[in-house]
A and B are shown apart, each in its own frame.
Chain A
Amino acid sequence: MIRPFGFNEFLFILTAVQWTIALSAIAFCGGGLGGLGIALARTSSMKLLRLVTTGYIRLFQGTPLLMQLFLVYFGANIFGLPLNAWIAALLALSLHASAFLGEIWRGCIQAVAPGQNEAATALALNYRDRMRYVILPQAARIAVAPTVGFLVQLIKGTSLASIIGFMELTRSGQIINNATFEPFKVFGVVALIYFSLCWPLSLLARRLERHFARSTAR
């Protein structure tokens, strides 16, 4: 039975956007926590920590996100803890985001002038206080624009979760397309919705970049 692509079909796709947003948001938060840990480990004075986290980053940067999703989804099944698509997608995307945010933020931490850490050290501040009050606030300013940029990548990346059956924007498009056989219209709408999520963020990232470039030039 073929149905036409009407308002109800459109609404079906539009409501699925909430799952794309939820998946992106949670993976971004999980990735943010993991990424902070990784960035700190990558810049720490302990060689082993640096080595392990460098390996982690290389692994996730050197493999396609889809493979990471597959490995988490099917891997968990092999080890006898079957994950549903939700958890698998969240886990895989969080691990993925940890690696990328970790690498972005490592660069931002290292971009803070070394004299800042030296001055804080000379004032007898311990590692935690140096990071919290001196280094991270300065690194954060540099980090805002590339972090928003990565969020855009992450939102687009969540579309791959459709392949393991997670019901988000792309998957809802596939379902509607299977019923309507109007792929151009259907995926045109899906693409537009992604665009309307990502475009404002890209604009924001560019504005923030300019803003911070100006304020550091001061």
Chain B
Amino acid sequence: MPTELQTGATGASRGSDIAVRMEGVDKHYDDFHALKKIDLEVRSGERIVICGPSGSGKSTLIRCINRLEEIQGGRILVYGRDLTAGSAAVEAIRREVGMVFQQFNLFPHMTVLENCTLAPRRVRSVSREEAEATARRYLERVRIPEQADKYPAQLSGGQQQRVAIARALCMNPKIMLFDEPTSALDPEMVQEVLDTMIDLAEGGMTMLCVTHEMGFARKVADRVVFMDEGEIVETAPPSEFFTRPQHKRTRKFLGQIGIQQQNIV
């Protein structure tokens, strides 16, 4: 079963081994300095969890990677391609980078299947039959094949988020970005989405996940990135991050989310 995900994600055959490289990235919202000289390198196949207090710049950081946000300084390379090199580069990079949002952002006027086939058909010029076959495969992968002809509003939150994941996967991305994918879900639906993400991670997908699900971080993350006030304060493998945090700010943050730490996957 995991084969299609693996073929969509293994890094070796993909040229550059560095999936994402941020060099001195600066981001301002008017007067507000949202990202301060961010340096981050993500290898192909790596799973990164980004956490930090509200307003620390986590969403801003991952939204810069597919240029939903423009940056004012520094460079971002995705598989060696410079995002600041113009709109052709941006287009090319967006094809390779999937994104899942906190609020799902499914297209409400389209069925699940149409949600999943729109981009492959328009962007990759895949035939309808092929796009639908791929979509059904991924819907099965996220365990909702029977919902293909429903509209998003007819699904539960957890199902909608799994559709959103399938929709992104249908573009066959090399990198997946997640921005608090479980934060808008009722507690009983969190696990089904996390399971889907774990499955994806085990398939070898390069992932950058903003999440406070520390159980997920422990289980799948290669590195945990802790952000505060627009800076990366600390980066460490989960084993170190949770047991021996180096910085006071990290320890304070971990203390604050102590309850969530018991929420083990």
Contacts of A125 in B (CB 8 A): 118-119, 122-123
Give the number of residues in A that approach B within 8 Å (Cβ atoms). Answer: 19
Q: Mark A112-125, 1 if CB is under 8 A from B, else 0.
A: 01011011111111
Q: Mark A122-148, 1 if CB is under 8 A from B, else 0.
A: 111110010001100110010000000
Contacts of A133 in B (CB 8 A): 107, 118, 122
Could you say which of B91, B101, B103, B167 contacts A124, with CB atoms under 8 Å apart? Answer: B91
A218 interface residue, CB < 8 Å from B?
yes
Give bound CA distance, A108 to B101, whole Å.
23
Contact count A vs B, C-beta below 8 Å: 62
Q: Interface of chain A, helix or strand or loop or mixed?
A: helix
A119 to nearest B CB, angstroms? 4
B122 adjacent to A122 (CB under 8 Å) = no
Give bound CA distance, A133 to B121, whole Å.
12
B170 to nearest A CB, angstroms? 9
A124 adjacent to B171 (CB under 8 Å) = yes
Could you say which of A122, A134, A138 contacts B99, with CB atoms under 8 Å apart? Answer: A122
Give the number of residues in B that approach A within 8 Å (Cβ atoms). Answer: 25
Q: Mark B144-175, 1 if CB is under 8 A from A, else 0.
A: 00000000010000000000100110010000
Of all chain A residues, the one with the shortest Cβ separation from B114 is A133
Contacts of B168 in A (CB 8 A): 122-123
B68 adjacent to A121 (CB under 8 Å) = yes
Contacts of A138 in B (CB 8 A): 107-109
Give bound CA distance, A137 to B91, whole Å.
23
- Which residues of chain B from 93 to 135 have a CB within 8 Å of any chain A CB? 94-95, 97-99, 101, 103, 105-109, 118-119, 122-123
Q: State whether A123 and B118 are in contact (beta carbons under 8 Å apart), knowing that A115-B103, A134-B107, A138-B108 are contacts in the complex.
A: yes
Give bound CA distance, A96 to B124, whole Å.
41
Contacts of B206 in A (CB 8 A): none
Give bound CA distance, A67 to B167, whole Å.
53
B60 interface residue, CB < 8 Å from A?
no
Could you say which of B97, B103, B106 contacts A122, with CB atoms under 8 Å apart? Answer: B97
Could you say which of B97, B105, B167 contacts A116, with CB atoms under 8 Å apart? Answer: B105
Contacts of A134 in B (CB 8 A): 107, 118
A123 adjacent to B108 (CB under 8 Å) = no
A118 adjacent to B68 (CB under 8 Å) = yes
Give bound CA distance, A120 to B107, whole Å.
9
Q: State whether A122 and B98 are in contact (beta carbons under 8 Å apart), knowing that A115-B103, A218-B153 are contacts in the complex.
A: yes
Give bound CA distance, A169 to B105, whole Å.
49
A59 to nearest B CB, angstroms? 30
Could you say which of A115, A123, A126, A137 contacts B167, with CB atoms under 8 Å apart? Answer: A123
Q: State whether A122 and B94 are in contact (beta carbons under 8 Å apart), knowing that A115-B101, A129-B122, A133-B122 are contacts in the complex.
A: yes
Q: State whether A123 and B119 are in contact (beta carbons under 8 Å apart), knowing that A115-B103, A118-B101, A218-B153 are contacts in the complex.
A: yes
Could you say which of B94, B153, B164 contacts A121, with CB atoms under 8 Å apart? Answer: B94
Give bound CA distance, A126 to B153, whole Å.
26
B211 interface residue, CB < 8 Å from A?
no
Question: Beyond the given A123-B94, A124-B94, A129-B123, could you list 14 further A-B residue pairs with CB under 8 A, ordered by the A residue number?
Answer: A115-B103, A116-B105, A119-B107, A122-B97, A122-B98, A122-B99, A122-B177, A123-B119, A123-B123, A123-B167, A124-B171, A126-B123, A133-B122, A138-B109
Instruction: Give A residues with C-beta under 8 Å from B.
Output: 113, 115-116, 118-126, 129, 133-134, 137-138, 141, 218
